[in-house]
Amino acid sequence: MTSPALCERCGLRMASYDQVERRVEYRSVATLSRLRTWRLALICRKCAMDEWEHHDHPHGRDSEQGTLL
């Protein structure tokens, strides 16, 4: 019997349906072809949602965005 997986971000015990694999991917700039992919961590869905939200809105949803003009 295998031991339950723990979230590497918050330490929560995860079921298989709650696991999200965090990966890093490198691509060629010229062709956008994938060069390599590595698994960095198993995290829970809640932590993954927090990371996705921070990636899409690093300063929060209500912060003022800069302009180019």
Q: What is the pLDDT of residue 52?
A: 85
Q: What are the tokens at 57?
A: 């809105």
So what's the pLDDT on residue 14? 92
The string of pLDDT tens digits covering residues 11-26 is: 999 988 889 998 888 8
Using CA atoms, how far residue 29 sits from 1, 34, 35, in Å, is 44, 10, 10
Output the pLDDT for position 16: 86
With a threshold of 0.95, does the pTM exceed it?
A: no
Look at residue 59 and tell me whether its pLDDT is greater than 80.
no
CA distances from 63 to 57, 59, 60, 69 (A): 9, 6, 6, 18
